[in-house]
Chain A
Amino acid sequence: MTTPPIVTLSDDQRDCYQELTNVAMGQAADRLARLLDSYVVLPIPKVNLIEISDLRMAIEGAQEEDAVSAVCQGFIGSGIAGEALMLFNDTSFTDLARLTNYPGELTHQAQLEILMDVSSLLIGACIQGIGEQLEIHFNQGHPVVLGQHCNVNDILNVSNQKWRRTLAIEIHYTMEAVNVDCDLLLLFTEDSVLRLNHVIDFLLD
C-alpha cells in the first residue's frame, strides 16, 4: 500500500472549511436550541491540520482534569470518510438532564440517554449540513460510547493510530445561563482530505 502524500491546507481552503462549518453548525445549534429550549452560543469553528499528538492535546486542553464522556460516530460518503467525536464534560450532565427533561436521579443509564440524544442531534446536523453544501450524501454508522467517565488517554488508546496528520474541525458548544460544555470534533481520514480539498477548490473557483 502506498502512503498518501502529506496533507496540506491553503489559507483559502481553510476559510472555506470554516465557512462550510459555520453554516452547518448554525443549523445544528438551531436544532439543539429547539430541543433544549435554551439559547445556544454560536461558536467559531477551528479548522486545523493536526497530528496525533495534537489531537491528544486538543482533547486534553478542552477537558482539563475533569472526567470526560465521549461518543464517536463514523461517517462516509463519496469516498470521504471520517469520524465525529463528541466530548462532554461530566459536569454538564446535571443541566443537560434538566433541559432534556430526564426526571429523577442522574443514573448511569440516564446519562447514557442524554449523551446519545444530544450527540445524535449535533453530529447528525453538522455532518448533514456539511454534506448538503458539498452535495455529498453521508452515511452515518452507529454511534459508539467510548466509556463514560474515563481519562482522555483511555479514549485515545482505543483508536489505532495509523494516521500522521489530518484535518480536524473543532467546535466548542456552550450555552447561555446553564453549565453545559461540550466539544464536537470532526476528523477526516488523510485520503479524504485530499478529495475534500479537491471539492473545496471547485467551490472556490
Chain B
Amino acid sequence: MTNPNIDLGDIHWLMDILQNIDVGLVVLDKEYNIQLWNGFMDSHSGISPQNAKGENLFTLFPDIPEAWFRKKAEPVFQLKTRTFTIWEQRPYLFHFKNYRPITGRATFMYQNTAIIPLESIDRQIHHICVIIYDVTDAALGKEEAHKLGVEINKLTRVDPETGLMTTDAWHEEISRELARVHRSEMPSCIALLDHSQLAIDADALKKAYALLARSLRQTDLACVPQSGQVAVLLPASDEGDVRFFAERIRKTIGRQIPEFRNHTRIGIARALDTFNNANEWLQAVDAACTAAANTDDHLQIHTPDS
C-alpha cells in the first residue's frame, strides 16, 4: 500500500524512526536472508546491521527452530496473510536479555511476534517483516497470576484435618478419570483401605496419612471418604500395580501402627467401560473391600462377575 503522506525527502527521518523505535524489525527474503535489521535488533543482539545484512537467519541464530519458524512464515509468503506467535507458544524467538537486567525477574526477554507480508511493485510477496515486541512484563504478570491460581486451587482441595484431598475434590477427580478411561485404553484403579474396626488414635492416624501422602506418585490422589477408610485413585495403573502399592502402604503404615498391617482390609477396583458413573466405580471398590474380610490376605480385587 502506498502512503501519500510520504515523500522521498522524508526517507531520512523515517529511517531515524525505524532505528529508534523500541520494537524489533527484521525483513527477510524468501531464502530467509536478513535484508533489514533495525536498531532494536542491533542493540539487543549485539550484531550490527552491516554484519546481519545478507546473512541467513538460521545460520546467524542456530537456536531458532527452523521447522517451527518456517511453518509460521511460509503462509505469509504463500497466502499473503499475517501470522502471529505469542510467548505462550515459545517464550522468545530471539534469545535476548531482559530489558531490566538488574531489577527484572526474568533472565530473558519474552517476545510476541507478528509476521507481515511485504508486497513488491509486482504485487508478489518477496519479503516478509518480522516484528518483535517485548512482552516480558505482561508474561511475568500472567505467569504469576497462574501460579497463584494453582496455589489457591491446591489450598481449597486439601483437607486440613487429614492433609489429603477433600472428598468433594476427590469425587470430581474420579469422575474426570472415569471419563478419561472411557476415551483411552489406559487402566486406572481405586484402592480402598478400611481400618474401621481398629481403634487408632487421632495422632497416629495423622502420621499414617502423612506416610501415605509421601508414598504417592504425583498423579495419585488420596482422600478419606469416611472415617476409618482411605481411598486412593491411581491413574495409569492396573490391578497388579495397585495390589503391590496397597500392600506396601499397609506394610509402611504397619511399622507405625502394628495392627494396621494385619487387620486393614483392601479393596481394589479397576475402572470399567461398563461403569456409567463414578458411583458405580465406588460401589465396586466398596464391594471388593467388604469381600476382602473373607480372604486370607484381607485383599480383594473386584472382578466384573463378582
* A interface residue numbers (CB < 8 A to B): 31, 34-35, 73, 109, 112-113, 116-117, 120-121, 124-125, 128, 137, 140, 142-145
Indicate if the CB atoms of B89 and A121 lie closer than 8 Å: no
Indicate if the CB atoms of B79 and A116 lie closer than 8 Å: no
Interface band, chain B = 10 to 19
Q: Which of A109, A125, A137, A142 contacts B84 (CB 8 A)?
A: A142
Q: Considering the chains assembled together, what is the distance between the CA atoms of A117 and B114 in angstroms?
A: 12
Looking at B71, B82, B84, B86, which has the most chain A CB atoms within 10 Å of its CB?
A: B84
Which B residues are CB-close (under 8 A) to A143? 84, 86
Which B residues are CB-close (under 8 A) to A144? 86
Indicate if the CB atoms of B86 and A116 lie closer than 8 Å: yes
A114 to chain B, nearest CB (A): 11
Determine if B175 is an interface residue (Cβ-Cβ < 8 Å): no
Q: Considering the chains assembled together, what is the distance between the CA atoms of A34 and B78 in angstroms?
A: 10
Q: Which of B75, B88, B112, B114 contacts A121 (CB 8 A)?
A: B75
Query: Known contacts A113-B89, A116-B86; is A142 also within 8 Å of B114 by CB?
Result: yes
Indicate if the CB atoms of B89 and A31 lie closer than 8 Å: no
B154 to chain A, nearest CB (A): 18
Query: Known contacts A31-B81, A120-B81; is A142 also within 8 Å of B86 by CB?
Result: yes
Q: Which 7 A-B pairs have the closest CB atoms?
A: A124-B81, A120-B83, A31-B79, A142-B112, A124-B82, A143-B84, A120-B84
Chain B interface mostly helix, strand, loop or mixed? mixed
Which A residues are CB-close (under 8 A) to B83? 117, 120-121, 124
Q: Considering the chains assembled together, what is the distance between the CA atoms of A116 and B79 in angstroms?
A: 16
Q: Tell me the nearest residue of chain B to A120, going by C-beta.
A: B83
Q: Considering the chains assembled together, what is the distance between the CA atoms of A143 and B112 in angstroms?
A: 10
Which A residues are CB-close (under 8 A) to B114? 140, 142
* B interface residue numbers (CB < 8 A to A): 1, 71-72, 75, 78-79, 81-86, 88-89, 112, 114, 133
Q: Tell me the nearest residue of chain B to A127, going by C-beta.
A: B82
Indicate if the CB atoms of A116 and B85 lie closer than 8 Å: yes
Query: Known contacts A124-B83, A137-B1; is A31 also within 8 Å of B75 by CB?
Result: yes
Which B residues are CB-close (under 8 A) to A124? 81-83
Q: What are 9 A-B interface contacts by the 8 Å CB criterion?
A: A34-B78, A116-B84, A116-B89, A117-B72, A117-B83, A128-B81, A142-B112, A143-B86, A145-B88
Q: Which of B1, B82, B85, B88 contacts A140 (CB 8 A)?
A: B82
Which A residues are CB-close (under 8 A) to B72? 117
Which B residues are CB-close (under 8 A) to A35? 75, 79
B214 to chain A, nearest CB (A): 28
B117 to chain A, nearest CB (A): 10
Q: Tell me the nearest residue of chain A to B71, going by C-beta.
A: A117
